Amino acid sequence: MSIATRVFLGYFLIVGLGVVFLMSVFVKELKPGVRQSTEETLVDTANLLAELVKDEVKEGAIGAGRFKRSVDSYVQRRLDARIGGFAKDAVHHRIYITDAHGIVLYDSDGKDVGADYSRWNDVYLTLRGQYGARSTRADPDNELSSVMHVAAPIRDGSTILGVVTVAKPNLSVQPFIEAGRRNLVRAGVVLVALSLAVGLGFSMWLSRSIRQVVGYARDLSRNKRVTPPRLRGELAELGSAVSALRAQIDGKSYVEQYVHALTHELKSPLAAIEGAAELLEEPMPEPERARFLANIRLEGARLRQVVDRMLDLARVEQRQALESRTPIDVHAIVVELISVKEPLCRSSELTIENRIAVGSSVVGDAFLVRQALGNLIDNAIEFSPAGGRITLRADRDPDGWRIRIHNTGSQIPAFAQARIFERFYSLPRPRTNQKSTGLGLSFVKEVAALHGGEIRVENQATGGVTATLVLPHA
């Protein structure tokens, strides 16, 4: 099979699948789109009626007032309208009004006056100051029998006097949905036919260009200064040349990125060391001399920590896959880590509770998993207040083990939630007001990716923060 034929078939397959996928999405989204549009109209209608009926509800005259007479006349109107080729001859709205306790005061169908609607979502939520809506099937076994209900509060100042609900059967808009679906399918067929014609011309042009693209890509991969030559070559060679080019560009970018990041992080501690050293050259009292020496030691330790963390992160990021996978006893690792952290927890008056069951086993690199869990426990300790509690548990599901580490400390600010996995991004620790290297969570993220898992750090509605590390089970 010639390369032109292979390119054409590949192009047509991709375009065809793309068209089929898009059309299926459009068809799938058509029904909810129409219904959402209907719901938006019902919201406007309900709020308009709420204003019109407010005075009669307030005066307790809804049962025999002007509003009832008008709506009764409205629902009995006979229409003569054509919309998109479909005839509309009747009103399809149902309107009912409840008091502040959810008791029906008026029903345009005339069947449920006096009924208690306080537990229906449209009434229940609206009476509590929320957006109230529901969709209920008239026939539980027929999806097309569902009726959309949208409610609006009847207010007197800040007081909710009752609720007005406008209901519309989804069956009334079903003809438009079906017509739209047919039109989309026809358009998809035409689009596939056009893509066939375009693909034929495109593949013939591309087949003549492949060879020149290969030579050009190979020269670029060798960092040569070249101008685009005539295109010659084969598709396999093209893939090889582009891969080599990509590897070189990626490698160069990787090194540049790390050099920039490392030099940026080393500037502050180096400046602090230089400043302290200059001051120590002058005579000074012994307490100040000791303080500046302590600063030098502290900044030196920070430099060492940054370098060590960068090396760990670089080694993980450069690995494309795990060299070996072995069963790992998560419970045993956590017991060991808690034992190591015990003095720090005792001095900070923290309690660590290990709820991970014996036998909780994941598969992967034991050293990397231990390092990742150690980083997460360190974070939990550093962000927990004195007297706080850290809880570890693990749950198994089809995706793997979900290892959760929860602390009762302050939650992650909104401005930082999208950045916590960035290299060198760190928040001040509550007890010391100091920042870390900002590499711990980046390391954990890379370890999770190597194992085919994931890491999430989320605020909890009940307070505190939970880090969830997902790893494959053994």
Q: Is the pLDDT of residue 224 over 50?
A: no
Which of residues 181 and 151 earns the better pLDDT score? Answer: 151
Quick one: which of 148, 56, 152 has its CA closest to 94? 148
Q: What average pLDDT does the segment 329-358 reach?
A: 86
Instruction: Assess contact for 101 and 118: CB atoms under 8 A.
Output: yes
Instruction: Assess contact for 316 and 368: CB atoms under 8 A.
Output: yes
- Report pLDDT digits (tens) over 238-281: 544 554 555 555 444 444 544 545 554 565 566 667 766 777 77
Complete domains list, the chain, with CATH: 3-177 (3.30.450.20), 235-318 (1.10.287.130), 326-471 (3.30.565.10)
pLDDT at 133: 92
How far apart (Å, rounded) are the C-alpha atoms in residues 146 and 192? 35
Instruction: Assess contact for 435 and 426: CB atoms under 8 A.
Output: yes
- Report pLDDT digits (tens) over 112-149: 889 999 999 999 999 999 999 998 887 888 877 888 99
Which of residues 210 and 85 earns the better pLDDT score? Answer: 85
What is the C-alpha R_g of the chain? 34
Q: Which of 122-126, 285-289, 312-316 has the lowest mean pLDDT?
A: 312-316
Instruction: Assess contact for 12 and 199: CB atoms under 8 A.
Output: yes
Give every CB contact of residue 279 below 8 A, 6+ residues apart in sequence: 292
Q: How far is CA 44 from the centre of its chain?
A: 31
- Report pLDDT digits (tens) over 167-208: 988 877 777 777 777 777 777 777 777 777 776 666 666 666
The gap between the terminal CA atoms of the chain, to the nearest Å, is 45
- Report pLDDT digits (tens) over 416-473: 888 888 876 778 777 666 666 667 788 788 888 888 889 999 999 888 999 999 988 8
Quick one: which of 444, 428, 447 has its CA closest to 436? 428
Element (H, E) at 166: strand 159-169
- How does residue 313 score in pLDDT terms, banded at 50, 70 and 90? low
Element (H, E) at 395: strand 389-397
Quick one: which of 353, 382, 389, 364 has its CA closest to 441? 382
Instruction: Assess contact for 301 and 328: CB atoms under 8 A.
Output: no
Quick one: which of 166, 162, 175, 180 has its CA closest to 41? 166
Quick one: which of 222, 210, 211 has its CA closest to 249? 222
Q: What average pLDDT does the segment 396-409 reach?
A: 88
CB-hemisphere CA count at 13 Å for 288? Answer: 9
Average pLDDT, the chain: 77
Q: What average pLDDT does the segment 9-13 reach?
A: 70
How far apart (Å, rounded) are the C-alpha atoms in residues 359 and 394? 11
The model's pTM: 0.40
How far apart (Å, rounded) are the C-alpha atoms in residues 465 and 474? 28
How far apart (Å, rounded) are the C-alpha atoms in residues 258 and 275? 26
Q: Which of 159-168, 295-304, 351-360, 393-402 has the lowest mean pLDDT?
A: 295-304
Q: What average pLDDT does the segment 74-89 reach?
A: 78
| Maximum mean pLDDT: which of 11-25, 67-81, 259-273 | 67-81
Q: Is the pLDDT of residue 283 over 50?
A: yes
Neighbouring CB atoms inside 10 A of 462's CB total 7
Instruction: Assess contact for 407 and 388: CB atoms under 8 A.
Output: yes
Q: Is the pLDDT of residue 321 over 70?
A: no
Task: Name the percent of the chain lying above pLDDT 90.
Answer: 16
